[in-house]
């Protein structure tokens, strides 16, 4: 039996549970102790649930009754914008400080049915708007590798919890990189599935044409386990893909053609250590038998600009629902209009107010064509670039590789005064959301800063519904980069 149960992977823990070597209660007690002990320093959890042990006992009973399932009794952390019935769900916003979820997200229903144990809800940038968790109304999460640095964001709490062994896995959401970038900063695996792969019913919407739920884990194999439980069509989410997309027989590929958009990946502002680590990782993958080829994605450099038009436009629309009428905080004014304005002015933080107003601007009459309409058109060109790059009949590639983030984790406060600088940290991750394709970040070693080893990550991108290729590439990189312990 492992000395420290919190360091087990999901696959390892599941095997020990099945063999009766450990119980979910023992595992959950160990994880709860680790979470409670470290949370004062890291602020990864906004709340640690008091019913986790009861769920663990339930899982143990199900196993005693003969049930076997990969997540039965496995302790997980949940990002605070995903609803668990009867639990607080705040999106790290003051406007929802006392909101209790009235139903389970479909992803949560699936995890409950699979027997997972929820340890707590994790910190994030308010309404998932940010890349550092500094926009949380409830304090910044610290990076476990260096507590003077950010864990990334917006799902920073989930990434930190998995990295610091405060959970075996976690759920996050990714609109422009909010799973992959914190995974990279914290040295864990983060998967943004294909748009429509996992139901978003019960996920608080930021930008509905981009949002996707996905897992954080310490290994690629664990990400695959969680993904397989979470994926599938849901009548409650009309954008969820029909199940037939998964039944097409995939060609089992072990050796991949990996495309590297060099102009983009080694472009301006990309840290020297990041480029060097990326090149070394590609060499290692070539030695594993994969073929690395340079590719061109003509419009990919416009991704960030397109993203910062479409995302605020959609967010300003989605967040209109927070008006102090049906749920959340209410700050009263003299008139109904004042009720809305006062409630939203007091309830939303600076970045949320900024994005709502930016969204209102790009959608307003006179600017709509120049910004929103133009951005949707360039988005289509970016999608087309990916389609061509993945066209195997025209000398295309199986997957694409880039660094996940242009830099390792930055210092707390370093970018918080300049929103544009903060946005630039998303440069490698937003294209996948615009094109709706899946992406994964896998740890690829470290860069030293101030005497500390900070994790770096490689991002792989695949065609729609080809998460299987990401797992092949991810496992291959893991085998050469060494597992993050």
Partner 1 sequence: MIKKEDMEKLAQLSRVAVSSEELEVLKNDLESILGYVSEIQSVSEEAPERTAGSLRNVMRDDANAHESGTFTKKILGAAPRTDGDYIKVKQVL
Binding status of residue 329 toward partner 1 by CB under 8 A? yes
Measured in degrees and rounded to the nearest 5, phi and psi for residue 348 equal -90, 145
CA distances from 406 to 276, 343, 400, 424, 429 (A): 12, 37, 16, 9, 10
Q: How far apart are CA 69 and CA 75, in angstroms?
A: 14
Measured in degrees and rounded to the nearest 5, phi and psi for residue 217 equal -150, 175
Interface region with partner 1, contact rule CB under 8 A, candidates 122-130, 159-167, 259-267, 322-330: 322-330
Do residues 120 and 47 lie in contact, with contact meaning Cβ atoms separated by under 8 Å?
yes
Strands 257-261, 291-295: parallel, antiparallel or unpaired by DSSP? parallel
Interface region with partner 1, contact rule CB under 8 A, candidates 14-22, 135-143, 165-173, 344-352: 344-352
Q: For the window 280-319, what string marks contact with partner 1 as x by the rule CB under 8 A? A: -------------------x--x--xx-xx------x---
Strands 75-79, 213-217: parallel, antiparallel or unpaired by DSSP? unpaired
Q: Which is nearer to partner 1, 61 or 357 (CB)?
A: 357
Binding status of residue 232 toward partner 1 by CB under 8 A? no
Task: Say whether 178 is catalytic.
Answer: yes
Sequence-distant (6+) residues with CB within 8 A of 221 are 9, 11, 471, 475
Applying CB under 8 A, among 33, 54, 286, 381 the residue interacting with partner 1 is 381
Q: Which is nearer to partner 1, 221 or 341 (CB)?
A: 341
Applying CB under 8 A, among 248, 335, 394, 485 the residue interacting with partner 1 is 335
Partnered with residue 344 across adjacent β-strands are none
Do residues 461 and 432 lie in contact, with contact meaning Cβ atoms separated by under 8 Å?
yes
10 Å CB burial of residue 66 (0-12, 13-18, 19+) is exposed
Applying CB under 8 A, among 340, 390, 428, 460 the residue interacting with partner 1 is 340
Measured in degrees and rounded to the nearest 5, phi and psi for residue 339 equal -55, -50
10 Å CB burial of residue 36 (0-12, 13-18, 19+) is middle
Residues between 103 and 132 with contacts to partner 1, criterion CB under 8 A: none
CB of 247 to partner 1, least distance (A): 16
10 Å CB burial of residue 103 (0-12, 13-18, 19+) is middle
Please work out the total of residues on this chain that contact partner 1, with binding judged by CB under 8 A: 59
Interface region with partner 1, contact rule CB under 8 A, candidates 21-29, 199-207, 223-231, 324-332: 324-332
Q: Which is nearer to partner 1, 149 or 344 (CB)?
A: 344
Q: Which is nearer to partner 1, 164 or 270 (CB)?
A: 270
Q: Which residue among the candidates 14, 79, 316, 441 is catalytic per the annotation? A: 79
Q: Which residue among the candidates 14, 154, 281, 441 is catalytic per the annotation? A: 154
CB of 354 to partner 1, least distance (A): 6
End-to-end CA, the chain = 17
DSSP output for 317-380? HHGGG-SSSSSS-----SSHHHHHHHHHHHHS-HHHHHHHHHHHHHHSTTTTIIIIIHHHHHHH
Q: How far apart are CA 128 and CA 181, in angstroms?
A: 13
Binding status of residue 346 toward partner 1 by CB under 8 A? yes
CB of 125 to partner 1, least distance (A): 16
Applying CB under 8 A, among 49, 264, 278, 348 the residue interacting with partner 1 is 348
Q: How far apart are CA 166 and CA 40, in angstroms?
A: 12
The residue among 41, 175, 131 whose CA lies nearest residue 420 is 131
Q: For the window 446-475, what string marks contact with partner 1 as x by the rule CB under 8 A? A: ------------------------------
Q: How far apart are CA 165 and CA 171, in angstroms?
A: 15
Applying CB under 8 A, among 11, 284, 292, 380 the residue interacting with partner 1 is 380
Q: How far apart are CA 158 and CA 149, in angstroms?
A: 16
Applying CB under 8 A, among 120, 328, 403, 436 the residue interacting with partner 1 is 328
Q: Which is nearer to partner 1, 127 or 185 (CB)?
A: 127
Q: Name the token pair of 85.
A: 């019935």
Q: For the window 192-231, what string marks contact with partner 1 as x by the rule CB under 8 A? A: ----------------------------------------
Binding status of residue 233 toward partner 1 by CB under 8 A? no
> Crossing angle for the helix pair 350-363 and 336-347, nearest 10 degrees?
120
CB of 201 to partner 1, least distance (A): 11
Cis peptide before 430 (omega within 30 of 0): no
Applying CB under 8 A, among 94, 353, 411, 475 the residue interacting with partner 1 is 353
CB of 228 to partner 1, least distance (A): 24
Q: Which residue among the candidates 23, 132, 173, 178 is catalytic per the annotation? A: 178
Q: Which is nearer to partner 1, 11 or 329 (CB)?
A: 329
CB of 433 to partner 1, least distance (A): 16
Work out the number of other CB atoms within 10 angstroms of the CB of residue 369. Answer: 9
Task: Say whether 154 is catalytic.
Answer: yes
Q: Which is nearer to partner 1, 221 or 378 (CB)?
A: 378
Q: Which residues are catalytic?
A: 79, 154, 178
Residues that bind partner 1 (CB under 8 A): 99-100, 102, 235-236, 238-239, 242, 299, 302, 305-306, 308-309, 316, 320, 323-330, 333, 335-342, 344-346, 348, 350, 353-354, 356-358, 360-361, 364, 370-371, 374-378, 380-381, 384, 419-420, 423
């Amino acid at each position: 039996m492992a000395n420290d149960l919190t360091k087990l992977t999901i696959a390892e823990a599941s095997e020990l549970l099945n063999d009766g070597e450990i119980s979910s209660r023992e595992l959950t007690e160990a994880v709860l102790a680790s979470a409670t002990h470290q949370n004062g320093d890291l602020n990864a959890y906004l709340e640690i649930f008091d019913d986790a042990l009861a769920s663990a006992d339930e899982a143990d009973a199900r196993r005693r009754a003969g049930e076997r399932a990969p997540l039965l009794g496995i302790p997980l952390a949940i990002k605070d914008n995903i609803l668990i019935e009867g639990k607080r769900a705040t999106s790290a916003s003051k406007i929802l400080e006392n909101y209790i979820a009235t139903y389970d997200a479909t992803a949560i229903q699936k995890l409950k049915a699979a027997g997972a144990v929820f340890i707590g809800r994790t910190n994030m940038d308010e309404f998932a708007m940010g890349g550092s968790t500094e926009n949380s109304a409830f304090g910044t999460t610290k990076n476990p590798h260096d507590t003077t640095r950010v864990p990334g964001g917006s799902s920073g709490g989930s990434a930190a919890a998995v990295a610091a062994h405060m959970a075996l896995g976690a759920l996050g959401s990714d609109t422009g990189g909010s799973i992959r970038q914190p995974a990279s900063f914290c040295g864990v695996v983060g998967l943004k599935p294909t748009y429509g792969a996992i139901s978003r019913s019960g996920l608080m919407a930021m930008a509905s044409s981009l949002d996707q739920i996905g897992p954080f884990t310490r290994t690629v194999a664990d990400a695959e386990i969680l993904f397989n439980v979470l994926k599938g069509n849901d009548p409650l989410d009309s954008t969820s893909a029909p199940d037939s997309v998964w039944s097409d027989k995939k060609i089992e590929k072990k050796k991949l053609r990996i495309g590297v958009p060099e102009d983009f990946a080694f472009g301006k502002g990309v840290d020297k250590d990041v480029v060097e680590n990326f090149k070394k990782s590609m060499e290692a993958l070539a030695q594993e038998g994969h073929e690395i080829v340079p590719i061109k994605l003509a419009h990919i450099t416009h991704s960030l600009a397109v993203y910062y038009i479409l995302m605020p436009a959609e967010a300003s629309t989605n967040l209109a629902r927070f008006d102090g009428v049906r749920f959340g905080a209410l700050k009263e004014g003299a008139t109904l209009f004042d009720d809305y304005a006062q409630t939203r002015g007091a309830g939303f933080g600076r970045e949320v107010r900024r994005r709502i107003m930016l969204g209102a601007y790009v959608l307003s009459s006179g600017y709509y064509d120049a910004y929103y309409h133009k951005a949707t058109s360039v988005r289509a060109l970016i999608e087309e670039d990916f389609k061509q790059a993945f066209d195997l009949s025209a000398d295309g590639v199986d997957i694409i590789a880039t660094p996940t983030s242009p830099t390792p984790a930055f210092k707390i406060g370093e970018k918080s005064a300049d929103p544009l600088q903060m946005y630039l940290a998303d440069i490698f991750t937003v294209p996948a959301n615009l094109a709706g394709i899946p992406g994964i970040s896998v740890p690829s070693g470290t860069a030293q800063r101030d005497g500390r080893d900070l994790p770096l990550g490689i991002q792989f991108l695949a065609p729609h519904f080809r998460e299987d290729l990401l797992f092949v590439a991810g496992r291959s990189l893991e085998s050469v980069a060494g597992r993050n312990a």
